[in-house]
Structure 1
Amino acid sequence: MIAALESWRAGLFHRSHLMRNIGAGLVVGVVALPLAMAFAIASGARPEQGIYTGIVAGVLAALFGSSRVSISGPTGAFIVILAGITAQYGIEGLQIASLMAGLILLAMGLVKLGGIIRFIPTPVITGFTAGIAVIIFVGQWKDFFGLTPAASGQHFHEKLMALIEAMPGLDLPTTLLALGALAIVVIAPRLTRRIPSPLIAMLAVTLAHAYWQFDGVATIGSAFGGIPAGLPELHLPQVTFARVLELLGPAFTIAMLGAIESLLCAVVADGMGGTRDNPNQELVGQGIANIATPFFGGFASTGAIARTATNIRSGAKTPVAGIMHAIFLLLFILFATRLMAFVPMAALAAILFMVAWGMSEYERFI
């Protein structure tokens, strides 16, 4: 059953539950903001496109999925796949592949293939996500250390060698800012959980750079020209038969990874919140979200496990929290984008370092 209808029938939209869900959504929105931008940049897109993805997918997956409390948007698990697609086919190719993946997910849900995903062995998923974590970690060296690597091939080992060779030319102010941000992300949760540590790190490093005006430190403004205010115009990707054939493989990859990630997220939500999801309906919700997102400047999305856990810990019980998280991102993109031009890229790299660490699941290898 669609989570929104189930919550309504269970009386969870009553005023006594409403404020708690609104509050949880705002907390998750604050958590999602720096992550959405960081994931977009790492995927080869512009930072605002990650926010667009969080807004559209956040609303549609909450409305049409089966999990009451799952949060959807851009995720770290997608970075490696999406970055490769963007590098080869461009951002519009990524958006077309995302749309096609949405259609595949929708079809999988309608023909009730959701249960099959759960038969994938856990070691396979663990190894896959750990590999992605390593690639994300190495991929952020450039912004973390302020490197200017020489041109290299597309293979991981070629990029790694280029980064290692560029390491003697690291930019000291950039590296110090990145280390400061990383320290805050690690230490802040031990002091307070009321304010998300990625947000604290991003604000602290931005203020430090604004005060001292370090030379050579790349910011969102210098790298992307800032973030435009307001929502993008409705964009219709140029879909042709040849383009569809070309992107069928990437679209299938996005769909499979999205299905696995979203259903894992729903399982985590069930375990933490005492609910029970319908995997087929969850795929339908994710499919609808991925079909719609590219028309608004976004790209592939799926269930975000860490943000979902934050949502539940903050008291969420209904899809209202997921919708409020999207509304927070919407308000930010409408009224506060000028501030983001001053955010050092090093801060986002530090946040992604911790995302990679969380994805590594190192304890499973010990």
Structure 2
Amino acid sequence: MDFDLTPDQRQIRELAGQFSDREIAPRAAQADQDKSFPMEVHERALALGLLGVNLPEYAGGPGLGTVELVLVTEAFCRGCLGIGSTLCINALATEPIAIAGTDAQRREYLARVAKGALASFALTEPAAGSDVSGIRMRADRKPGGYVLHGSKIWISNANLAEYFTVFAKTDLEAGHRGMTAFIVPRDSKGLSVGAPLGKLGQRAAPTCEVFFDQVFVPDDHRLGEEGAGFALAMAVFDRSRPMVAAFGVGLIERCLEEAQRYATERKSMGKRLIDHQAVAHKLAEMRMRLESARLLTYQSAWLVDKGRKNTIEASMAKASAADSAMWAASEAVQIFGGMGYSTEYPVEKLFRDAKVLQIYEGTSEIQRNVIARELLKA
């Protein structure tokens, strides 16, 4: 059993960490305040080869694995969860194409992202979040293709995307077996994107509503077989949840850094905060949870790269990282005391950013359902 990263993996982690310290962290507070994503960060990350690291070489990507994607994601999100998630979330939109796309679809749409395009994964609806099979957006069969009617909500990068991977019902009465996936270009007639939604945290990461009004999608833009969309979405989540878990790992690490620095500098009752056992134990617990979440995340990513089933490991990693990130952010605020509630210090932003990790990409409750289901199968 070998826990060492390869020299190449260590190098990409170091490069991503340096980039995060130099380009992401200094912009985090302003981007949060402005509620906007700094596109110059995207351009600089692209120039360094830090975006789309798991895209295949035939599409213009470096052909690295999910482990490398996780390493980059963790480093970026240590700098800012909003900016970092926006830089990495393309992987969620490209996975359905990598899994189910034709050679032509892969070469065109994965190559666009490799060159710097942003894309969006469009599944969630106003009345269907955790209940994936409950989506109601329709895809009506027409000669030569399908017509999409309906809307999506909380779609990451929607206002920046060149195309969407969209899930809709080709049969409303067939439950999860009636779902089908499509590639829908941004300039499709009848497709419109709402303004970015107001949010508690991750304000630098734009999320929007997307409206489909009689949007025609030709047959060659369908992903996989008709009715296979639900199975495709589940396969995507197995491969994308390690990345989302890395969002949490990066945030936990930042919480520990900020809390430890403050506890070392700040004095109370005649001694440093860190010399009070109650505070020291919080930091110790934070480090324990960081390493636990990190190991689960790396394991779930490693299984993807080995071509092995990782459903239970991916759900454990995501739930562990999300719950520990929320706990760590809360404890960081507690260590800072009254100053933790002030915008003068970054921990209030970490607290706001953390909460949604327990909600999107499958809530922590849904992850436990998945884990329990897999246990019963075993």
- Scaled by the length of structure 2, the TM-score of the pair is 0.23
- Structure 1 or 2, whichever has the larger Rg, is 2
Between Structure 1 and Structure 2, the one with more helix by share is 1
- Scaled by the length of structure 1, the TM-score of the pair is 0.24
Higher relative contact order (CA 8 A, sep 6+): 1
